[in-house]
């Protein structure tokens, strides 16, 4: 995914405390009657003068769209009383009771949200992205920004699905002419449907070819997504700063030997699709990569290694082979294989939600090339829309979020998925229950 450019501000803080949980992003505005465009350093000084450790927000987005670093994003902020311990605060400059945010602010906010949701493994929806006023009684972030949050979340979903460098320009171009619907036009998806086989398609295909059923494959993939975002070069985020390298740097230095075998297996850093951490498992992965002459970050290599590992878990393999539901498979993989410190209900349902998405996307119609065809296929009438998406698409047509009368829809499979997740998020906001 494209990363938003963040201007480092090198502000000096008094005591900061590390945040251990991140499950929400809170959007703020300045709100001064003079509709100010304060920079991060000015807000920092104001907050220092109030006796705080420094600026309370993690990011500041200026009227020209520039994103400035406020408080480091690992630290507990000071922006939403009672909710700081688990949230990231983004400050959008302006008074949006009076004015409206600029196009540049909206686009960069959406991209920043998409980036943060990837970094912190959050679903991009209205449960995880809120306006300040949804947490307490305040006008912040102002009615004209608050009313745009659904659109901004839709844009963030869009950015998170993009792979090409120039996708952003296209998104902006389309929103400029289309106005609403978060740039989710079929034109955009047609441009992206040409992309090469997605890792997730490869992973789905791999496990299906091993003979697992759809529930089992979705259950495994939901867990792997929660662990690594399905990125085989993924280095556990907290180690990126402590080791001073990013995913690509770490992978390259393990491959060329400048980061030694001993350091790789003993550094305690989760790595790869399954975020392998324990030294014997990392050693096995390393040997397998060397033995087969492939990069430590190679997707196919990791899938083969993972499959070999799984064969040692006979109980788990039995459960997977006989899985009757996505949830059952997802829980089994979590409890028997991944075994994270947190195995509570929250963690189970978090992973199962991802698993459900993979199931909805790929289950039942897998026959080799058919999945790829699926991404190129267009759905033009409501009758052609698959059952899993039909209620949401009908709803969005009724609400006139999708234009027209249910004909000439020209929706791709990706577009269906985006609309379905948008619609569900939207219904949660306005309180419609199914």
Binding positions for Zn ion, rule: CB under 5 A: 28, 132, 140
152 vs 269, which CB is nearer to Zn ion?
A: 152
Q: Is the peptide bond before 424 cis (omega within 30 degrees of 0)?
A: no
4 vs 140, which CB is nearer to Zn ion?
A: 140
What whole-number distance in Å separates Cα of residue 244 and Cα of residue 266? 16
Distances (CA, A) of 122 to 6, 32, 193, 274, 281: 20, 31, 25, 17, 27
What whole-number distance in Å separates Cα of residue 409 and Cα of residue 393? 10
Residue that has been written with the tokens 């829309």 in this structure: 385
71 vs 424, which CB is nearer to Zn ion?
A: 71
Q: Is 27 helix (H, G, I), strand (E, B) or coil?
A: strand
84 vs 186, which CB is nearer to Zn ion?
A: 84
87 vs 193, which CB is nearer to Zn ion?
A: 87
Alpha-helix runs per DSSP H in 311-362: 314-321, 326-333, 345-362
Bridging pattern class, strands 67-69 and 59-61: antiparallel
Helix (H) or strand (E) holding 156: helix 149-161
What whole-number distance in Å separates Cα of residue 331 and Cα of residue 338? 10
27 vs 153, which CB is nearer to Zn ion?
A: 27
What whole-number distance in Å separates Cα of residue 217 and Cα of residue 293? 27
Shortest Å, Cβ 32 to Zn ion: 12
Angle at CA of residue 123, ends 232 and 333, nearest 5°? 55
146 vs 250, which CB is nearer to Zn ion?
A: 146
DSSP 23: -
Percent of the chain as helix, strand, coil, to the nearest 5: 50, 5, 40
Shortest Å, Cβ 87 to Zn ion: 11
44 vs 132, which CB is nearer to Zn ion?
A: 132
Shortest Å, Cβ 137 to Zn ion: 11
**Cβ-contact 152, 113 below 8 angstroms:** yes
Shortest Å, Cβ 345 to Zn ion: 31
Shortest Å, Cβ 83 to Zn ion: 11
243: burial class by Cβ within 10 Å (0-12, 13-18, 19+)?
middle
96 vs 259, which CB is nearer to Zn ion?
A: 96
Compute the CA torsion angle 201, 217, 227, 283 (nearest 10 deg).
Answer: -90
Shortest Å, Cβ 29 to Zn ion: 7
What whole-number distance in Å separates Cα of residue 130 and Cα of residue 28? 9
Shortest Å, Cβ 89 to Zn ion: 8
Q: φ and ψ at 6, to 5 degrees? A: -110, 125
Shortest Å, Cβ 150 to Zn ion: 18
132 vs 282, which CB is nearer to Zn ion?
A: 132
Shortest Å, Cβ 138 to Zn ion: 6
What whole-number distance in Å separates Cα of residue 143 and Cα of residue 27? 12
78 vs 316, which CB is nearer to Zn ion?
A: 78
Q: How many CB atoms lie within 10 A of CB 63?
A: 16
Shortest Å, Cβ 140 to Zn ion: 3
């Amino acid at each position: 995914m494209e990363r938003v450019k963040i201007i480092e501000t090198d502000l000096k803080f008094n005591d900061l405390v590390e945040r251990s949980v991140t499950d929400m992003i809170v959007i703020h505005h300045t709100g001064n009657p003079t509709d100010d465009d304060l920079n991060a350093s000015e807000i920092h000084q104001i907050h220092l003068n109030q006796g705080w450790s420094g600026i309370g927000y993690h990011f500041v987005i200026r009227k020209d769209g520039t994103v400035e670093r406020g408080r480091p994003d690992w630290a507990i902020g000071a922006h939403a009383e009672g909710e700081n311990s688990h949230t990231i605060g983004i400050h959008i400059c302006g008074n949006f009771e009076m004015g409206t945010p600029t196009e540049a602010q909206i686009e960069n906010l959406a991209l920043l949200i998409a980036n943060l949701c990837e970094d912190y493994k959050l679903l991009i929806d209205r449960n995880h992205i809120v306006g300040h006023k949804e947490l307490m009684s305040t006008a912040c972030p102002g009615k004209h920004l608050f009313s745009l949050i659904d659109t901004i979340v839709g844009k963030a979903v869009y950015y998170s699905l993009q792979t090409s460098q120039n996708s952003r320009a296209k998104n902006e171009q389309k929103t400029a002419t289309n106005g609403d619907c978060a740039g989710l036009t079929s034109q955009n998806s047609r441009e992206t449907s040409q992309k090469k086989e997605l890792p997730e398609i490869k992973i789905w295909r791999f496990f299906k070819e091993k003979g697992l059923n759809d529930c089992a494959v979705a259950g495994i993939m939901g867990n792997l997504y929660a662990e690594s975002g399905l990125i085989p070069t993924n280095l556990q985020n907290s180690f990126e700063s402590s080791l001073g390298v990013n995913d690509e740097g770490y992978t390259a230095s393990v491959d060329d030997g400048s980061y030694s075998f001993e350091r790789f297996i003993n550094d305690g850093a989760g790595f790869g699709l399954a975020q392998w951490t324990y030294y014997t498992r990392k050693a096995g992965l390393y040997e397998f990569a060397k033995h087969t002459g492939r990069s430590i970050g190679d997707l196919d290599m990791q899938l083969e290694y993972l499959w070999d590992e799984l064969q040692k878990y006979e109980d788990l393999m039995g459960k997977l082979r006989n899985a009757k539901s996505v949830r059952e498979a997802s829980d089994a993989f979590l409890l028997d294989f991944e075994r994270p410190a947190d195995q509570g209900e929250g963690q189970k349902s978090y992973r199962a939600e991802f698993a459900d998405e993979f199931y909805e996307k790929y289950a039942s119609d897998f026959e080799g090339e058919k999945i790829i065809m699926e991404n190129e296929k267009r759905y033009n009438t409501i009758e052609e829309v698959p059952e899993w998406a039909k209620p949401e698409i009908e709803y969005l047509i009724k609400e006139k979020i999708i234009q027209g009368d249910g004909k000439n829809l020209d929706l791709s499979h990706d577009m269906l998925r985006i609309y379905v997740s948008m619609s569900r998020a939207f219904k949660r906001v306005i309180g419609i229950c199914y």
